[in-house]
Structure formats: C-alpha cells, structure tokens
Amino acid sequence: MARTDETGQPARHTSPFGTTPPTPPPGEGAAGPDARMPRWLPRALVLALALVGVFQLGSWAFHQLTGLLINILIAFFLALAIEPAVSWMASRGMRRGLATGIVFLAVIIVSAGFVTLLGSMLAGQIIKIVEDFPEYLDSVINWINAHFNTELRRVDVQEGLLRSDWLRNYVQNSATGVLDVSAQVLGGLFQLLTITLFSFYFAADGPRLRRALCSVLPPAKQAEVLRAWEIAVIKTGGYLYSRGLMALISGIAHYILLASLDVPYAPVLAVWVGLVSQFIPTIGTYLAGALPMLIAFTVDPWYALWVLIFVVIYQQFENYVLQPKLTSKTVDIHPAVAFGSVIAGTALLGAVGALIAIPAIATLQAFLGAYVKRYDVTDDPRVHGHRGRGAGRGLVTRARALWAKRPGSARPGTDSGGSGGSSTENSG
C-alpha cells in the first residue's frame, strides 16, 4: 500500500541527499479534466469565418455589378470626350448643364437622322431584292440546266422549299426567338439610357466631381489627380480625332469603289462604312461591310464579291499600317503598344475594352511618365542600330584566318614560290 502524508495525498519519495524533487507545472503531462480551450481560439475562428463570408459576398456583388461598372466606365470616357466642347461653351458664360444638354442633343439629332436615312434606304433595297428574287432564281436555274443538262423549274424548287423540314423548323425557331430578340433590344435600350445619364452627370458636374474627389486628398495628391484628369481629357480627345480621321479616309476609299461600280446610295454607304467600322469595335468591320455588299448584290452579284475583297484588303491595311501610324501621332503611343492594348482590352472587357483601351493606356503612360527618371543616352553607334566597320572586318578576317589554317591548305605565296622555283630549275 502506498504511503500517504498527513493530508491524505500520496507521499513523495525523498532523494537520498535529503532534498525533495520539484513539483511539475500543471500544463505538463497528460491533460486533466480542468484543461480548457485557449481563449483566443474561438475569436480567431469567428474572425476567419467572417472574413470568408465578406469575401464571398464581395465577389458575388462584384459579379452582379460588372455590367453597371462597365457602363459607368464607358460613360466616364464619353464625358471626357465631350469635355472640351462643354468647357468651351461654359467659358463663354453658359451653364455647364445647358452646354452638356446642347452637345447631347446635337449628337442625338445627328445619330437619329443618320439611322433614319439608313433605315429607309435599307428597307427600299430589301423590297427590291424580294421583288427581283424570282428573276435571280430563274437565272440560276437556267445556268444549272445549261451546264448540267437538268430540267429544273422554278415551281418545283419553290414547292420543294415550302415542303422542306428545314423551312418549318426555321419558322418555328424564329417564332420562339422573337421574345429573346425583344428582350435583348429592350436591354440594349436600357443600357444606352444608363450610359447617357451617367455621361451627362459626369460632364455637367465635372468641376463638382473633381472638388469632391480632391477634398479627401492632401494638396500634393490633389495636384496629381487634377493632372491625371487633364491628361485623360487630352488623350481621349486625341483618340477620337484619330478615329474620326480614319473614318474619313475609310469613307472616301469606299465611296470611290462604290461610285466606280455604280452602286446606288454610294455617299450614304461610304459614311456608314466609315463610322461603323471605326466606332463599333470588334464587329464594326463586319457590320460596315455587310450593307454595301447587300446593296451591290442588287446591282450585280459579282459587285458584291468585289466589295468583299476590297473590304478585307482595306481592313488589313488599316489595322497594320494606318491605325498604328495615326494613333502614334495623335495619342502619342507606340504603334505596337496601341495594337497590344487593343488586344488586351478585347480579352478583358470585350468590345468595350477594345474601344477604351488606347485612351486608357495613353493616359496611364503619360501620367507615369512624369515619375520615371530619364538619363542622357550615350552617343554610341550601337544605340542607333549601327555597327562599327572594324567589327565587321574583324569577323571576316577571323573567318579567312580559320579557313587558311585548315589541314591540307597551302599558302598562296608558297604555291607561287614553288612554281617559280620549278620553272627556274627547268630553265636551268
């Protein structure tokens, strides 16, 4: 039986030297029934769960508001584009709200008139195509009968087309897709209204917006923000100027082609191609080229093919020659940077990114350029891409020396000397 002391606890064994071993701390050894969880652990778990929840909520809200943020970004760049005109009118004593309204009213009137003119022209050409379609069909049937020895008739072709399952399925799909098209049209109109309202507020209340932004910044940061704003206005205006110039060049080139082919409505079609191809990114080129091809087809199907070939060739010339040159002059960025920014903007934001990529990159480059320290470049020919003449001669001389040292090669002097000696011996 274990020995106990006076308190009833097991007695400790004393060492032979008369000392008692120290008592171990309570935390060491096996956990007893009174061991508790650290007080900081529940708080840490709650904080971690709260951070995860906030992150998930923020991510969900960002994805839900992506469309609105893109619309605000477009509206901001549109406000920067009309800022020079609004500021000029405001400097003449006109209120900024009234000046902004006049600019927007002018843009809306011009756009509505242009769309109305194109709509009436397109409707007339579609009616003409429908009326002349039997003649086109007869000419195609006659060509097939003449070259393939067939006996096709237009009545047989029409009956087969009306009884085909393809036409029935197409009509059913078109009927069910009317609601989707209507929803997309209403969504596009609402998006256009949102962009217009935000751009109006940004342009009309530009000074108030700048004051509100600068009021929360120290004086040094205020100067930087105002300088960035001014740079953005200048670069956006330069970008629109370059786009307008490219639209003018494109319109003139396409007008020459359409007028030479005697295509009707050549001036209107040229304006359509110039504006749509420049101010509607990604798909603007295809939309711009489809309408002239359709009108040219009503004159002669081969004219539509010529228009297609010209549109493709001119688009390549514009993308790789004209646009980089004009952009580098008006926006002051390198052509390669402009081309790469359009690709990057398209990958990030689609058509909107392609439209605002160049002014955004130009603004960022001009703003950061003030903080980059530059040095004088040494006057070395290699900086300009020129090599010294000695380097080229040294390379050629080294190659000749290696060729002369190859095994079995003889020196020219030795050969001539040997031949001279032999001739002397023979003469002797």
The C-alpha atoms of residue 281 and residue 319 are separated, in whole angstroms, by 12
At residue 67, the pLDDT reads 86
pTM for this entry: 0.61
Q: What is the mean pLDDT of residues 96-103?
A: 91
Residue range 203-223, pLDDT digits in tens: 888 888 888 888 888 888 888
Higher pLDDT, 103 or 398: 103
**257, 310 Cβ separation under 8 angstroms:** yes
Give me 125's structure tokens: 């050409």
Give me 26's structure tokens: 């309570």
Query: What are the domain boundaries of the chain?
Result: 66-154+184-216, 219-370
List residues bridging with 4 in a β-sheet.
Answer: 10
Helices 335-349 and 351-369 sit at what angle, rounded to 10 degrees? Answer: 130
- Does 60 score more than 90 pLDDT? yes
Q: What is the mean pLDDT of residues 36-62?
A: 89
Q: Which of 126-140, 206-220, 331-345, 412-426 tops mean pLDDT? A: 206-220
**284, 277 Cβ separation under 8 angstroms:** yes
Nearest of 317, 360, 370, 316 to residue 338 by alpha carbon? 360
Residue labelled with tokens 């709509």: 119
At residue 428, the pLDDT reads 41
At residue 73, the pLDDT reads 86
- Does 406 score more than 70 pLDDT? no
Conformation bin of residue 111: beta by default, left when phi > 0, alpha when psi is -120 to 50: alpha
Cβ-proximal residues to 363 (8 Å cutoff; 6+ apart), any chain: 228, 231, 232, 235, 236
DSSP sequence for 346-370: HHHHTHHHHHHHHHHHHHHHHHHHT
Residue range 328-341, pLDDT digits in tens: 777 777 767 777 88
Give me 380's structure tokens: 């070395």
Residue labelled with tokens 């390669």: 336
| Residue 15: other Cβ atoms inside 10 A | 9
**293, 302 Cβ separation under 8 angstroms:** no
Confidence of residue 177 (pLDDT cuts 50, 70, 90): low
Per-residue burial over 143-162, b = 16 or more CB atoms within 10 Å of its CB, e = otherwise: eeeeeeeeeeeeeeeeeeee
The percentage of residues in the chain with a pLDDT greater than 70, rounded to a whole number, is: 78
Give me 186's structure tokens: 């209403």
Q: Is the dihedral of CA 279, 280, 281, 287 positive or negative?
A: negative
* Candidate from 95-109, 338-352, 361-375, 385-399 with smallest mean pLDDT: 385-399
The C-alpha atoms of residue 242 and residue 12 are separated, in whole angstroms, by 96
The C-alpha atoms of residue 134 and residue 138 are separated, in whole angstroms, by 6
Nearest of 357, 295, 321 to residue 121 by alpha carbon? 295
